Protein backbone atom coordinates (compact mmCIF):
# COMPACT_ATOMS: atom_id res chain seq x y z
CA UNK A 1 0.00 0.00 0.00
CA UNK A 2 2.83 2.42 0.82
CA UNK A 3 4.22 2.05 -2.75
CA UNK A 4 1.11 3.70 -4.20
CA UNK A 5 0.76 7.44 -4.40
CA UNK A 6 -0.92 9.00 -1.40
CA UNK A 7 -3.83 10.14 -3.57
CA UNK A 8 -4.40 6.57 -4.80
CA UNK A 9 -4.19 5.18 -1.26
CA UNK A 10 -6.78 7.71 -0.11
CA UNK A 11 -9.12 6.86 -2.99
CA UNK A 12 -8.83 3.11 -2.42
CA UNK A 13 -9.29 3.46 1.33
CA UNK A 14 -12.29 5.79 1.01
CA UNK A 15 -13.98 3.66 -1.66
CA UNK A 16 -13.50 0.49 0.41
CA UNK A 17 -14.90 2.19 3.51
CA UNK A 18 -17.90 3.62 1.63
CA UNK A 19 -18.62 0.15 0.24
CA UNK A 20 -18.30 -1.48 3.65
CA UNK A 21 -19.94 1.13 5.90
CA UNK A 22 -21.96 3.49 3.73
CA UNK A 23 -21.29 7.15 3.15
CA UNK A 24 -22.69 8.58 6.39
CA UNK A 25 -20.56 6.34 8.59
CA UNK A 26 -17.17 7.24 7.15
CA UNK A 27 -15.32 10.29 8.46
CA UNK A 28 -12.22 11.92 7.02
CA UNK A 29 -10.40 10.63 10.11
CA UNK A 30 -11.39 7.06 9.17
CA UNK A 31 -10.23 7.63 5.59
CA UNK A 32 -6.91 9.03 6.81
CA UNK A 33 -6.35 6.08 9.13
CA UNK A 34 -7.22 3.52 6.44
CA UNK A 35 -4.94 5.30 3.93
CA UNK A 36 -2.14 5.43 6.51
CA UNK A 37 -1.88 9.21 6.44
CA UNK A 38 -3.14 12.20 8.38
CA UNK A 39 -6.41 14.04 8.01
CA UNK A 40 -4.41 16.96 6.59
CA UNK A 41 -2.89 14.54 4.06
CA UNK A 42 -6.39 13.68 2.88
CA UNK A 43 -7.40 17.34 2.67
CA UNK A 44 -4.33 18.13 0.57
CA UNK A 45 -5.79 15.91 -2.15
CA UNK A 46 -9.54 16.29 -1.56
CA UNK A 47 -11.23 19.49 -0.47
CA UNK A 48 -14.04 17.64 1.32
CA UNK A 49 -15.54 14.28 2.10
CA UNK A 50 -18.31 15.12 -0.38
CA UNK A 51 -15.73 15.20 -3.18
CA UNK A 52 -14.58 11.70 -2.22
CA UNK A 53 -18.17 10.45 -2.00
CA UNK A 54 -18.96 11.91 -5.42
CA UNK A 55 -15.89 10.25 -6.92
CA UNK A 56 -16.82 6.93 -5.28
CA UNK A 57 -20.35 7.13 -6.68
CA UNK A 58 -19.05 8.02 -10.15
CA UNK A 59 -16.62 5.09 -10.03
CA UNK A 60 -19.37 2.74 -8.84
CA UNK A 61 -21.65 3.83 -11.69
CA UNK A 62 -18.78 3.43 -14.16
CA UNK A 63 -18.13 -0.10 -12.86
CA UNK A 64 -21.78 -1.07 -13.43
CA UNK A 65 -21.81 0.50 -16.91
CA UNK A 66 -18.54 -1.25 -17.68
CA UNK A 67 -20.08 -4.63 -16.92
CA UNK A 68 -22.98 -3.91 -19.28
CA UNK A 69 -20.59 -2.64 -21.97
CA UNK A 70 -18.50 -5.79 -21.62
CA UNK A 71 -21.60 -7.99 -21.93
CA UNK A 72 -22.61 -6.09 -25.06
CA UNK A 73 -19.16 -6.69 -26.55
CA UNK A 74 -19.26 -10.40 -25.68
CA UNK A 75 -22.62 -10.92 -27.41
CA UNK A 76 -22.93 -8.06 -29.92
CA UNK A 77 -25.63 -9.66 -32.07
CA UNK A 78 -27.45 -11.64 -29.39
CA UNK A 79 -29.74 -9.53 -27.16
CA UNK A 80 -31.09 -12.64 -25.41
CA UNK A 81 -27.56 -13.64 -24.42
CA UNK A 82 -26.91 -10.09 -23.23
CA UNK A 83 -30.03 -10.18 -21.06
CA UNK A 84 -29.16 -13.61 -19.66
CA UNK A 85 -25.60 -12.52 -18.90
CA UNK A 86 -26.82 -9.31 -17.21
CA UNK A 87 -29.13 -11.37 -15.00
CA UNK A 88 -26.34 -13.88 -14.31
CA UNK A 89 -24.06 -11.03 -13.27
CA UNK A 90 -26.60 -9.86 -10.70
CA UNK A 91 -27.21 -13.44 -9.52
CA UNK A 92 -23.50 -14.03 -9.02
CA UNK A 93 -23.21 -10.78 -7.08
CA UNK A 94 -26.00 -11.60 -4.62
CA UNK A 95 -23.73 -13.21 -2.01
CA UNK A 96 -21.56 -10.07 -1.98
CA UNK A 97 -24.58 -7.75 -2.01
CA UNK A 98 -26.02 -9.62 0.96
CA UNK A 99 -23.27 -8.17 3.18
CA UNK A 100 -24.26 -4.52 2.83
CA UNK A 101 -26.70 -4.26 -0.06
CA UNK A 102 -26.85 -2.28 -3.25
CA UNK A 103 -24.64 0.82 -3.02
CA UNK A 104 -27.26 2.88 -4.89
CA UNK A 105 -30.15 1.85 -2.64
CA UNK A 106 -28.02 2.45 0.43
CA UNK A 107 -26.93 5.89 -0.75
CA UNK A 108 -30.51 6.88 -1.53
CA UNK A 109 -31.45 5.77 2.00
CA UNK A 110 -28.62 7.80 3.51
CA UNK A 111 -29.32 10.99 1.55
CA UNK A 112 -32.86 12.12 2.33
CA UNK A 113 -33.08 15.10 -0.03
CA UNK A 114 -34.36 13.87 -3.41
CA UNK A 115 -32.75 16.91 -5.08
CA UNK A 116 -29.30 16.21 -3.65
CA UNK A 117 -26.69 15.81 -6.42
CA UNK A 118 -25.88 12.24 -5.33
CA UNK A 119 -29.53 11.23 -5.56
CA UNK A 120 -29.78 12.91 -8.96
CA UNK A 121 -26.69 11.06 -10.17
CA UNK A 122 -28.17 7.74 -9.04
CA UNK A 123 -31.51 8.57 -10.65
CA UNK A 124 -29.76 9.36 -13.94
CA UNK A 125 -27.81 6.11 -13.78
CA UNK A 126 -30.91 4.04 -13.02
CA UNK A 127 -32.95 5.74 -15.77
CA UNK A 128 -30.16 5.08 -18.26
CA UNK A 129 -29.95 1.46 -17.12
CA UNK A 130 -33.71 0.94 -17.58
CA UNK A 131 -33.58 2.51 -21.06
CA UNK A 132 -30.74 0.18 -21.95
CA UNK A 133 -32.75 -2.76 -20.66
CA UNK A 134 -35.83 -1.67 -22.66
CA UNK A 135 -33.74 -1.46 -25.84
CA UNK A 136 -32.38 -4.95 -25.23
CA UNK A 137 -35.87 -6.32 -24.60
CA UNK A 138 -37.04 -4.72 -27.83
CA UNK A 139 -34.09 -6.18 -29.80
CA UNK A 140 -34.79 -9.57 -28.22
CA UNK A 141 -38.31 -9.43 -29.64
CA UNK A 142 -40.11 -9.58 -26.30
CA UNK A 143 -43.84 -8.97 -26.70
CA UNK A 144 -43.90 -5.92 -24.39
CA UNK A 145 -40.37 -4.55 -23.98
CA UNK A 146 -41.39 -1.82 -21.53
CA UNK A 147 -43.18 -4.26 -19.25
CA UNK A 148 -40.36 -6.80 -19.55
CA UNK A 149 -37.78 -4.15 -18.63
CA UNK A 150 -39.88 -3.10 -15.64
CA UNK A 151 -40.34 -6.71 -14.52
CA UNK A 152 -36.63 -7.50 -14.84
CA UNK A 153 -35.74 -4.30 -12.99
CA UNK A 154 -38.16 -5.12 -10.15
CA UNK A 155 -36.80 -8.65 -9.95
CA UNK A 156 -33.12 -7.69 -9.97
CA UNK A 157 -33.49 -4.78 -7.55
CA UNK A 158 -35.83 -6.77 -5.31
CA UNK A 159 -33.46 -9.73 -5.32
CA UNK A 160 -30.66 -7.51 -4.07
CA UNK A 161 -32.78 -6.26 -1.18
CA UNK A 162 -34.04 -9.77 -0.39
CA UNK A 163 -30.45 -11.08 -0.41
CA UNK A 164 -29.45 -8.31 1.98
CA UNK A 165 -32.27 -8.95 4.44
CA UNK A 166 -32.22 -12.74 4.04
CA UNK A 167 -35.97 -12.96 3.47
CA UNK A 168 -35.98 -15.57 0.70
CA UNK A 169 -34.18 -18.90 0.65
CA UNK A 170 -32.82 -20.07 -2.72
CA UNK A 171 -33.22 -16.60 -4.15
CA UNK A 172 -30.90 -17.31 -7.08
CA UNK A 173 -33.04 -20.23 -8.27
CA UNK A 174 -36.27 -18.22 -7.97
CA UNK A 175 -34.79 -15.25 -9.80
CA UNK A 176 -33.44 -17.45 -12.59
CA UNK A 177 -36.84 -19.10 -13.06
CA UNK A 178 -38.77 -15.82 -13.10
CA UNK A 179 -36.41 -14.09 -15.50
CA UNK A 180 -36.43 -17.11 -17.86
CA UNK A 181 -40.22 -16.78 -18.00
CA UNK A 182 -39.96 -13.09 -18.91
CA UNK A 183 -37.33 -13.75 -21.58
CA UNK A 184 -39.44 -16.45 -23.21
CA UNK A 185 -42.33 -14.04 -23.97
CA UNK A 186 -41.79 -13.38 -27.67
CA UNK A 187 -43.88 -11.35 -30.08
pLDDT digits (tens, 9 = 90+) for 126-157: 999 999 999 999 999 999 999 999 999 999 88
**Of residues 101, 135, 130, 106, the one with CA closest to residue 118:** 106
Q: Which residue has the higher pLDDT, 81 or 176?
A: 81
pLDDT at 98 over 60: no
**Residues of each domain in the chain carrying CATH 1.10.10.60:** 1-47
What is the pTM assigned to this prediction? 0.86
Averaged pLDDT for residues 65-80: 95
b/e map 43-60, b = 16+ CB within 10 Å: eebbeebeebbbebbeeb
pLDDT digits (tens, 9 = 90+) for 8-64: 999 999 999 999 999 999 999 999 999 999 999 999 999 999 999 999 999 999 999
pLDDT over 70 for what percent of the chain?
A: 96
Architecture of domain 1-47: Orthogonal Bundle (1.10)
**Residues of each domain in the chain carrying CATH 1.10.357.10:** 49-183
**Of residues 86, 59, 68, 65, the one with CA closest to residue 157:** 86
The CATH number corresponding to 49-183 among 3.90.180.10, 1.10.3300.10, 1.10.357.10, 3.90.550.10 equals 1.10.357.10
Amino acid sequence: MKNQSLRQRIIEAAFRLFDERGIQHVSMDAVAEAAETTKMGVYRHFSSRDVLVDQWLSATIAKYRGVLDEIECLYPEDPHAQLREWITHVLEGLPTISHRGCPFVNTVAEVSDPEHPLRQKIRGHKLEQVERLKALCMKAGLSNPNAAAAQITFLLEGAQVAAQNGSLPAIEKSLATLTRQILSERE
